[in-house]
Amino acid sequence: MNKKLFLLDAYALIYRAYFAFSNSPRINSQGLNTSAIFGFTNTLLDILKKEQPTHIAVVFDTSAPTHRHTEFEAYKAHREEMPEDLRKAIPYIYKLLDALNVATLESDGFEADDVIGTLAKRAEEKGFITYMMTPDKDFGQLVSENIFIYKPGYKGGPPEKLGIKEICAKYGFERPEQVIDYLGLMGDASDNIPGIKGVGEKTALALIHEFGSIENLLANTDKLKGKLKEKVEAGKENAILSRMLATILLTAPVEFDEEQLSAKEIDKEKVKTLFTELEFRRLAQVLLGEELPVEEKKEIVEEGASKKTKAGQMDIFGHTGGEVEEEEVPEELKNYQTIETVSHSYYSADTLEKRKTLIHGLSQLKSFCFDTETTGLNTMTAELVGISFSWKSNEGFYVPIPNDQQEAQKIVDEFKPLFANENITKIGQNIKYDLNVLKNYGVVIKGLLFDTMIAHYLLNPDMRHGMDVLAETYLNYSPVSIETLIGKKGKNQISMRDVPQEKITEYAAEDADITWQLKETFSPLLVEANAQKLFDEVEMPLVPVLAAMEREGITIDSETLKKYSAQLEIEIKAIDDEIQKLAGTSFNISSPKQVGDILFEVLKIAEKPKKTKTGQYATGEDILQKLVKKHPIIEKILEYREMVKLKNTYIDTLPELVNPKTGRIHTSYNQVVAATGRLSSDNPNLQNIPVRSERGREIRKAFIPRDKNHVLMSADYSQIELRIVASICGDKNMCEAFRDGKDIHTATAARVYGIPEEEVTKEMRYKAKSVNFGILYGQGAFGLAENLSISRGEAKELIENYFREYSGVKKYMDDTINFAREYGYVQTLLGRRRYLRDISSSNGVVRGFAERNAINAPIQGTAADMIKVAMIHVQAALEKNKFSTKLLLQVHDELVFDVPLDEVEKVKPVIEEAMVNALKLEVPIEVGIGTGKTWLEAH
């Protein structure tokens, strides 16, 4: 068997994993960022599985200075401090490697590069094939017939294996060692290696191609001319120094111990302990073949539905681009109490007399907790299996509901007066689900509500909010897993109806009991966090409004979508033919690799095309948009992609999601997903239906009123985030523009360019609009320049002029960041907090991301609060006036209604008034209201 050694550059891979999740870091229940641990674990397990090395080691740098630091004090001196979150994660990486029985190596006075180089060369002498796993280009100097660079894949792409052939081809070198000379000439900004001043990548390559080495170059400077000769001669010492700094040493004092480096069996107990602590449940299942405790039973269905995830952009089903892996639970909490270790009293109220006694007791209380057990997640079709109650810790009652629906209805009817009692607060976890399930049985729940999931969301919006993780975190208690009752997902999984009553009684009553205890825990915390008012007056009153919207659903014209799908099919084929003709050869337009090859190798439309980390040409939308004017094929490819996405994601999918009972689509609204406070929608996600393109707008044509006697009405806030900015910062010029009813983008352009408003061109207005919205997201000159395809100098001038004219906005940004640094959070006008753990990070990249969130969160969060309040007021007004109008959808700053024709004129001012007065701002609030026979027409 061939001996295959993998040497992993620890910190290079750890940093890579950490920053891969910078936009949606994985934060555990105690606030530990587990992004690096999770990413590194996945990388390592992938290597062990796919490459099956016979030997492996992970090599770390130490804090001890090396000869490079001694010879050149500035070496790596400019490097940012390691982010605090990453520093805390490193001990877990060591624990992981210990559990997986993977050797760790390091040597004081030598960098990881030196240790890897030394081991690779010694391994070669002993007949090994060695793969140095790193994204670092410096390692090119080490490759040989038996030593390769193994660059990890990018975004799921394949890894790159680089040997002599690949390295020499990449740089045009005769031998890999010339990488050292190349780095010596051009330097390396990441390591602060100076190189020769004024010699960049192109010049360095040309010099190596001509002279072969730094020594030969310096011996033949007389063959150079002009400024280049001056630069090289002046930079002679730096070139020699830089070559030394870039040379990987092969003399590190590390022993090549084949036994130590051999790949060994993992320590399953250690892995289980660590993965339980980290809650890497999916990885545990893959690696150990067993599941760790799961969370949030209402997100698991007997039919095998998968859990909803939280990070990233949701598709039409509410799924994100990648599953969110569960995360960290602190060491001291891993020995949870369970139903087996805690004394409890759970009873089954399975007779009429027992139910009467239970109902009488519940009716005397000021509050009680309840929970439903059902046959599925779809509230429109789910049937009750049972209802559990609790109002005291470690006590609970379970009411079984029979399969026979007539008998079931009779039992539920007994509880109707109890749920309708307005004097009793009803407590639940994800209580909106229970409201809608009970609605199937004619139960109307009145009185105050307390949802523990939402309470926790206000306390810690970046954490997960499932009952299991909350119980483990706050109660040191691990609830019974649903899989212990019904089995794992698959054909052998049984229904909740088939679970013996004594087991389901314990399981269901425990849920109600735990939820009661969580309520008792969260109530004082809401007061401490100054979130009680937001909870009582916004989030909880919104729950029944959302429940009603979900139940109402919206009608779509499936025939319109089917016709449009057939039309698009023809258009897609036609544009496919056009693209093939423009390319001059046939290729798969759906393959990014083939698109890249056609654009940049066949058509050669760019001199320096960008590549992905896998070495593939980058052909993402942002890249292609910048190249649109280079060749007509670009615009056609973008058009093709849009059509295919619309057809597959929306047009062909929406008709399949129509509920057969109601004939309507019923989305689900989530209150606890976006940390900013915005609602999200899933299954289907109606908030992501595109409206900017003509083809995207066609989809809205398929959303129609319930019948010919109704119309759809759209009520949309106008530029609400900018109005909120003006109101919060109080900038005189911005407030004045809104109060005078001016177009804010035209007014901004006039001020920024110093011209009268009537002289503002369409292009000027567009640029001003980009600045207006870019500032909200902390966009700098570089981002603005990229966005507008202008020079960085022009972008810088635009921003400087903007801040000169709107100085109040700049002051708001500075004051908000300072507030965040002092208090650790920012907040909306209604007090919704966004905690920013990295706002004072010593790492500039991490800190910058937190600062941008600090600027944006109060604005976007206030807009989210405002639309929520508007929805509550609108619903109350509709009920008060006994209108038949129904609120159907909320899409960002827009509300959509189903309105009887004879109510249109009556209800319009009522809706407008409720929205305008939802939140008092310092500038006028405008609401655009339209009606139509389709959603598009109404909007």
- pLDDT score, position 813: 92
Let me know: does 678 contact 870? Beta carbons within 8 Å. Answer: no
For residue 463 the two structure tokens come to 């954490």
Beta strand 4-9 with 833-835 is unpaired
**Gap between the Cα atoms of 459 and 913, Å rounded:** 32
List the one residue out of 471, 368, 497, 502 whose CA is nearest residue 425.
Answer: 368
Residue-wise burial string across 784-814, b where 16 or more C-beta atoms lie within 10 A, e elsewhere? bbebbebeeeebeebbebbbebbebbbebbe
Provide the 3-class DSSP secondary structure of residue 254. coil
**Residue 444: Cβ within 10 Å count:** 11
- pLDDT score, position 807: 93
Residues of the chain with pLDDT under 50: 293-334
Q: What DSSP letter does each residue of 556-616 carry, written as one string?
A: E-HHHHHHHHHHHHHHHHHHHHHHHHHHTS---TT-HHHHHHIIIIIS---SS--B-TTSP
What are residue 712's DSSP bridge partners? 898, 932
- pLDDT score, position 323: 31
**Residue 929: Cβ within 10 Å count:** 18
What are residue 337's DSSP bridge partners? 477
Cβ-proximal residues to 317 (8 Å cutoff; 6+ apart), any chain? 682, 683, 684, 685
List the one residue out of 807, 805, 783 whose CA is nearest residue 795.
Answer: 783
Provide the 3-class DSSP secondary structure of residue 772. helix
Rg (the chain; Cα; Å): 32
pLDDT digits (tens, 9 = 90+) for 461-519: 888 898 988 998 888 888 887 766 666 666 666 666 767 787 889 899 999 999 999 99
- pLDDT score, position 155: 53
User: pTM for the complete prediction?
Assistant: 0.71
- pLDDT score, position 887: 97
**Gap between the Cα atoms of 397 and 399, Å rounded:** 7
- pLDDT score, position 504: 87
- pLDDT score, position 572: 94
List the one residue out of 488, 431, 494, 490 whose CA is nearest residue 457.
Answer: 431
- pLDDT score, position 229: 79
